[in-house]
Structure 1
Amino acid sequence: MSVLRLREVTFRREGKEILHGVGFEVEAGEHWAMLGPNGAGKSTVLGFCGAVTHPTTGTVHVLGHELGRVELQRLRRSIGHVNPRHPLRSPLTVGEVVLTGITGTVETPNRWEPTAAERARAHDLIDLLGLTPRVADRWPTLSQGERGRTLIARALVSEPRLLLLDEPSTGLDVAAREQLLDTIALLPRTHPGLTSVLVTHHLEELPETTTHALILAEGRVVAAGPALDVLTSANITRAFQHEIDVEHRDGRWSARTARRYVVDAR
């Protein structure tokens, strides 16, 4: 079943076309990575996936519904979104932040109380993501890694069919990044029906459960499809306009500048 389908999508902002004929399709249960340099159009495409942005031309189907022909607020209830720049200003606890995923709000709504089933679901996710010792800790006191795992629990508590992860490793040190990637790698086992799209600039930030990839550059698709076919030295070099060697080992990717050594024969 198709979860996302874009066909010949263009997008103009202030008279400038920033996406040019973008198309790809995501099936249920797949886990996609979206990569590309700054200005490639990743955020705009993610806006389509999250039922936030409409295309200028072309068609976008999300969870079987065409944008422009469906009530967006209802559609968004089936989409979880992890944004490390979460704009929370109140000192909510971990437990309270996770529960805001049910209401789809940043703050806890006035006079709203979760049901016993909703509290139990939030508790189970907090435990699954290793946050039980921090459940009463307040947002300003959390590390970036703890915030990232809290936001994943928040996104999952509404039982979405599609999970969007917008550069989830932003601001994390190496240890916290690896803990977060381990958490994301759990999802195919703990939530087998879930489909995900993860946006990043860095191959090292891809979990080993990545099944497919989309590479964008200058508003166009460089390549899209199975990750091992797409995440190649040639495609990454083309997208970033810098000669890069890509390596895939033990389920993870890495990238470095391609080096050419000249041997002095003297």
Structure 2
Amino acid sequence: MTKPTFESASAASPVLELRDVHFRRGGRAILRDITFRVQAGERWALLGPNGAGKSTILGFCGALTHPSEGTVDVLGSRIGRVDLQALRRRIGHVNPRHPLDSPLSATEVVLTGITGTVETPMRWVPQGDEVERAQAMLDVVGLGARREANWFTMSQGERGRVLIARALVIRPDLLLLDEPTTGLDVAAREQFLETVDGLVRHDPEMTSILVTHHLEELPETTTHALVISDGAVVAAGAVDQVLTTDTITRAFRHPIDVAKHRGRWSARARRG
């Protein structure tokens, strides 16, 4: 197992740090000895097979879950010693399973990122500068011309980009993307990944964690990776050192050849 290498105590405070984290549910061990650190400006991928514990780790990153053992520090605050609601307001979360039931416009959906709700709160009226910021974020994700589009008439790819704008409108210190290309066809997936890569050009200091099962869904701007299997770390660190044929084969328990071409990753079952 490749363990992450920690920097000296004089290094800048990490955006996120898990140390010796264990998590149990109903007496069953879900995670064991999870340790890794995310510094400002790093863009991590979190990979592993179904049931490996990726969603649980993302719950720690989003200040949604407490560990059974170990420590979790998010944006300089330790889980268990801080107001979690206040901490969550500094974290942008992109979930393609966004449970919206109302026919809000793209702008209105983005504005719910400010209120931290799914629907527009009753009697809440956004300020002019908030509307301008929401529309500016739609421009950033390439949807400036779709500001008034109805959520239910948008394509899945457009919805995904609107949700990125929604996460960014609060100017988050940490951006989480939870399997953001779920349900997208190949064209929409590529457009979405281009949007994510474009965010780095817009904000080079952006710190993010993207969860996926598939190496093909990693943006070119990914800098680090954490690979887990059966609730434990298989490897963590710089992406080119972690995403290897050996690591992915061990994590998924199947012979898989990993390759990288023009900044994008691929994985294929080994033949023969």
1:151 aligns with 2:163: yes
Separation in structure 2 between the aligned mates of residue 77 and residue 101 of structure 1, nearest angstrom? 9
Please name the residue that 2:79 is paired with. 67
Separation in structure 1 between the aligned mates of residue 103 and residue 132 of structure 2, nearest angstrom? 22
Question: 1:234-249 alignment to 2 at 5 Å?
Answer: 234-249=246-261
Q: What is the deviation of 1:192?
A: 2.3
Separation in structure 1 between the aligned mates of residue 140 and residue 80 of structure 2, nearest angstrom? 37
Mean alpha-carbon deviation: is it higher for 221-230 or for 134-143? Answer: 134-143
Q: How much identity, in percent, do the aligned residues show?
A: 66
Match of 2:233, SS?
A: strand
Aligned 8 A contact 1:2 1:27 in 2: yes
Mean alpha-carbon deviation: is it higher for 114-123 or for 155-164? Answer: 114-123
Which of 33, 58, 62 is the matching residue for 1:46? 58
Aligned 8 A contact 1:36 1:240 in 2: yes
Aligned 8 A contact 2:140 2:199 in 1: no
Which of 239, 244, 260 is the matching residue for 1:227? 239
- Give the AA of the match of 1:131: L
Q: What is the deviation of 1:193?
A: 2.5
1:26 aligns with 2:53: no
Separation in structure 1 between the aligned mates of residue 231 and residue 237 of structure 2, nearest angstrom? 17
Question: 1:1-266 alignment to 2 at 5 Å?
Answer: 1-260=13-272
- Give the AA of the match of 1:176: A
Separation in structure 1 between the aligned mates of residue 94 and residue 69 of structure 2, nearest angstrom? 27
Match of 1:189, SS?
A: helix
Over the aligned positions, Cα root-mean-square deviation in angstroms equals 0.7
- Give the AA of the match of 2:170: S
Q: Any idea what the Cα deviations from partners look like across 1:66-118, whole Å, max 9, x if unmatched?
A: 00000000000100000000000111111100000001100001111222221
Separation in structure 2 between the aligned mates of residue 75 and residue 168 of structure 1, nearest angstrom? 22
Which consecutive segments of 4 or more residues in structure 1 shift more than 3 A? none
Larger radius of gyration: 1
- Give the AA of the match of 1:38: N
Q: What is the deviation of 1:191?
A: 1.8
Could you state the TM-score of these two structures normalised by the residue count of structure 1?
Answer: 0.96
Q: What is the deviation of 1:249?
A: 1.1
Q: What is the deviation of 1:127?
A: 1.4
- Give the AA of the match of 1:149: R
Q: What is the deviation of 1:132?
A: 2.1
Aligned 8 A contact 1:181 1:207 in 2: yes
Match of 1:2, SS?
A: coil
Separation in structure 2 between the aligned mates of residue 192 and residue 105 of structure 1, nearest angstrom? 28
Q: Which runs of 5 or more structure 2 residues have no equivalent in the other structure?
A: 1-12
Match of 1:207, SS?
A: coil
Q: Which runs of 5 or more structure 1 residues have no equivalent in the other structure?
A: 261-266
Separation in structure 1 between the aligned mates of residue 73 and residue 206 of structure 2, nearest angstrom? 17
- Give the AA of the match of 2:236: A
Aligned 8 A contact 1:161 1:193 in 2: no
